[in-house]
Structure 1
Amino acid sequence: MPSQLKRKLKPWILLFWTALLAVVMLGGPAIAFSPPAVPWGDTPWETAPIPQSFQKIRGVWLTTNDINVLRDSARVQSAMAELSQLNFNTVYPVVWNSGYALFPSVVAQRAGIPYIHRGAAGQDILADVINQAHRQGLLAIPWFEFGFMAPPSSELVMAHPDWLTQRQNGSQTSGSAAGEVVWLNPFKPEVQQFITNLVAEIAVRYDIDGIQFDDHTALPSDFGYDPYTVALYRQETRQAVPSNPRDPAWMRWRADKITDFVAQLNQTVKQHRPQAIFSVSPNPYDTAYNSFLQDWVGWINRGLVDELLVQIYRWDINSFTDQMLRPEIQTAQTQIPVGIGILTGLRNRPMPMSMIQAQVMRSTAQGLGVAFFYYESLWYDAPEPVEERQARFRDLFSVPASRFSLRRQV
């Protein structure tokens, strides 16, 4: 723990023990004190000063890992009821993944993308999730998970190879958690129009509470050397594209172009649903900007973001805490609701509940909300029994934090 934080906490600790001693000496009721059941550190944490009007985010992403749940309407209903009973307040259902829309999108089908994600009974998965979430008082914020990223063998890429960007050596693929991917060129008007039309389609057709864009509404910093982008840079700057992908001016030009597109997406959402939450879930800022040209601090400063969830997917508490205490997160939470994205496990690597609990407690002690990746790993794909995991979440979220009052019918 930073020494300055320890100094701040010493008076608080002294006051706590003085009060406890006074209670004992005055014959007050006995107090049972036990250390926390999770890794915590040597002293409690300060609560960050944030506006009290910001309602706390308690969310979960519904991913393609959860597709067996999403396709079954009865399981969707059960899942929304479970989350509501455990005092969650927001779900983020995936709507754009691997080059496919998870709803019957006319825009996608016109681009040559088949509709493959029907429910088991032929139902619209997105409409079902939104309806069931609202019945339980949960906000539903569709999530564009893949952004500009797509598998190289997808129908989208096969139909529109001219939409791709590349590295300086001409290669178009890169590795990711989703395997080998290519990147749509975020600077091409056709690509921007396609994504914008998908967003508008959802905003018009569904009773959404917002739309979320994550760390893939971005571009790896060594991409952007396709002929279109090279010519555009030369036209606007009268300079040749630098050979160094990390050249500051070249980085800033591309990042600003992505920021301008985020502004366009924000305008599209607000045009159709003025009260909708424009949510973003990027990586921590150093990674977001330097590796993916994603200037989310600039987005917030331009008033483009209504809600921020920073993905801090870590397997150890010290690394998690270091990122959570970054100054840009502390600054952001004085402006908008801010939460931390917490990993609750992967199919081949479950996360112990003790680590999840530690990360939640450290986040909430800082006045931050939380959201979890992903639904089934909350308590089904987990090392502990379902009942134990749910009981621990019930302890973490013992008091409701409803966001229902933020909803508006438009």
Structure 2
Amino acid sequence: MKKILILSIAILFFACNSEEPPKIYPNNPVQTTKGIKGVWVTNVASTALSSLNAIKETVQTCKKSNITDIYVVVWNKGRTLYPSEIMNKEFGIPIMESYAGRDPLLEMITEAHKEKLKVHAWFEYGFAASNGQQGGVILQKYPQWAAKDVNKNLLVSSSGFEWMNGINPDVQNFMKSLILEVVKKYDVDGIQGDDRLPAMPIAGGYDDYTVQLYKTEKGVNPPTNEKDPAWQDWRANKLTEFLGDLYKAVKATKPNVIVSMAPSVHPWAKDNYLQDWPTWLDKKYCDYVIPQIYRYDFSAYSQTLKSQVSYVKNSADRSKLYAGVLIQSGTYNASNQFLEQMVNENRNNYVSGEVFFFFEGLKYNSEYFTTKYASK
């Protein structure tokens, strides 16, 4: 008994006199491993995907910039950026016209895997059918898929996106079929939705299908106030249920494929696009989330980052939150100093990785990415 007592005192002594543990925010476990270092690669305002040689150069730029994960666009403007049997069967357009005869997704996977970089298929447009085309070929063939506002008009967001109804099971099955097509056909490391998947502008939900579904479940018509809390929660929950179904389907097909989401920041995302990502994490409907913390000064970035961390419901899920960081958009470029401040602030809040929007910014900030970022 005495030996046990002496041993206990010794253990207590050494514990009290050992190096002070790092300070952490309440309920925020320290990250023991480095997280992702990602970048979004798009076909807008960039020639990164314009040819096989361009893709090779893109991969080399990513490697030199210490990027580990490439999120490459595979779905926008109502087109796929890979040859799709589904799109060919449904609309007679197997791939975005400018990429006919090629397979940019396969090219990217092949080149990136040579350098041991991961490739995620980014379904950028999500439930948006088109932009400035009144729904394009999708809603022209399937007008019943359209999302509608309270006046029964086609749902169009302020940025010009024209929306499918993400609560309609036919729309859900269409989107799920495209995602599973990629998972089955390609050696992709992950798939990703963003602020349009799963999502719907809060003004939506007044199409015939959704109105009838709500009436069946609730016994009354939906409120005409699009921001009614119960009506908002009901629609957000429907999108959450879709994500849960999608997650299970992807994992049943290939368990090792990562399912990630890059929504807008909370609670703005839920209040405007019905994206309840804290619940997505809590229900384990995605492997990690990357809120788009797109800010133009350090104070705003720091404040928003900390708020996003605080919205994670379960402290064990803190390691599943990464930061979406804006480095280039239009004529805007983040300075190297601001970029370093944002990355350092991520680590100070135990956010172990980030994804940058977007690829072209790697070139502008090459001084930072090719030198300092390697040690972060």
TM range (shorter): 0.7 to 0.9
Give the corresponding residue for 1:95: 74
1:377 aligns with 2:357: no
Alignment partner of 1:351 out of 334, 345, 348:
334
Shift of 1:316: 1.6
Render the CA deviation track for 1:363-408: whole Å, top value 9, x for unaligned: 12222211111101222xx4xxxxxx312123332338xxxxxxxx
Q: Equivalent pairs: percent with the same residue? A: 30
Q: 2:19 corresponds to which residue?
A: none
1:321 correspondence with 2:302? yes
- Contact between 1:71 and 1:118, CA under 8 Å: does it hold in 2? no
Q: Residues 285 and 119 (structure 1 numbering): CA distance in 2 closer, same or farther, change over 3 Å?
A: same
Query: Which of 158, 170, 194 is the aligned partner of 1:214?
Result: 194
Task: Give the alignment of 1:190-269 within 5 angstroms.
Answer: 190-217=170-197, 218-269=199-250
The match for 1:85 is 64
Residue in 1 aligned with 2:347? 364
CA shift at 1:333, angstroms?
A: 6.8
Contact persistence 2:278–2:313 (CA under 8 A) = no
Q: CA deviation at 1:125?
A: 0.2
The equivalent residue for 1:339 is 322
Where relative contact order (Cα < 8 A, 6+ residues apart) is larger, the structure is: 1
One-letter amino acid of the structure 2 residue matched with residue 250 of structure 1 = W
- Equivalent residue letter for 2:344: M
The alpha carbon displacement at 1:110 in A equals 2.0
Kindly state the Cα deviation for residue 334 of structure 1 after the two structures are TM-superposed. 3.5
Matched, 1:114 2:114: no
Post-superposition Cα deviations, 1:171-209, rounded to whole Å, max 9, x if no partner, equal: 224234xx4221111121210110010011000000011
One-letter amino acid of the counterpart of residue 112, structure 1: F
Pick closer, same or farther for the CA change 1:47–1:87 going to 2, 3 Å. farther
* Aligned counterpart, 1:138: 117
- Secondary structure of the corresponding residue to residue 267 of structure 2: helix
CA drift at 1:56: 0.8
What is the one-letter code of the residue matched to 1:350? Answer: N
Q: CA deviation at 1:305?
A: 1.5
* TM-score, normalising length: structure 2: 0.86
Question: In the TM superposition, what is the alpha-carbon distance from 1:260 to its structure 2 partner?
Answer: 0.7
**Matched residue SS, 2:356:** strand
Aligned-pair distance for 1:52?
A: 3.7
Q: How much does 1:286 deviate?
A: 0.7
SS in 2 for 1:240: coil
Output the amino acid matched with 2:144: D
> Where does residue 276 of structure 2 map in the other structure?
295
Q: Which amino acid aligns with 2:196?
A: H
How far apart are the structure 2 equivalents of 1:120 and 1:221? 34
Q: How many residues align?
A: 346
Aligned: 1:163 with 2:145: yes
Structure 1 residue 137 displacement after superposition: 1.2
Q: CA deviation at 1:113?
A: 5.5
Instruction: Kindly provide the amino acid, as one letter, of the partner of residue 198 in structure 1.
Output: L
Between stretches 326-335 and 167-176, larger displacement belongs to 326-335
**Residue of structure 1 aligned with 2:42, choices 57, 63, 79:** 63
Q: CA separation of 1:46/1:111 partners in 2, compared to 1, >3 Å: closer, same or farther?
A: farther
Mapped to 2, the partners of 1:109 and 1:173 lie a distance apart of 26
The residue number in structure 1 matching 2:106 is 127
Instruction: Give the CA deviation at 1:213.
Output: 0.8
Residue from 289, 313, 316 that aligns with 1:308: 289
Distance 1:192 1:248, change over 3 A: same
The letter for the 2-side match of 1:165 is A
CA distance in 2, matches of 1:82, 1:398: 14
Aligned AA (2:147): T
State the partner residue of 2:127: 148
Letter of the 2:123 partner, please give it: F
Mark the runs of 5 or more structure 2 residues left unpaired by the alignment. 1-21
What is the deviation of 1:117? 3.3
Corresponding residue of 1:39? none
Moved more, 326-335 or 182-191: 326-335
Report if the CA contact (8 A) 2:146-2:155 is conserved: no
Larger deviation, residues 167-176 vs 279-288: 167-176
CA contact (8 A) 1:54 1:337 kept: no
Of residues 120, 145, 157, the one that matches 1:175 is 157
What TM-score, normalized by structure 1, do the two folds share?
0.79
Are residues 130 and 47 of structure 1, via their aligned partners in 2, closer, same or farther at CA, if it must alter by over 3 Å?
A: farther
> 1:96-126 deviations in whole A, cap 9, x for unaligned?
1121111111112222152343676932000
Q: Mark the CA change 1:296 to 1:121 in structure 2 (over 3 Å): closer, same or farther.
A: closer
- Structure 1 198/186 Cα, relative in aligned 2: closer, same or farther at 3 Å? same
Secondary structure of 2:291's counterpart equals strand
1:46–1:366 Cα contact (<8 Å) kept:
no
**Which residue pairs with 2:16 in the alignment?**
none
CA distance in 2, matches of 1:79, 1:321: 30
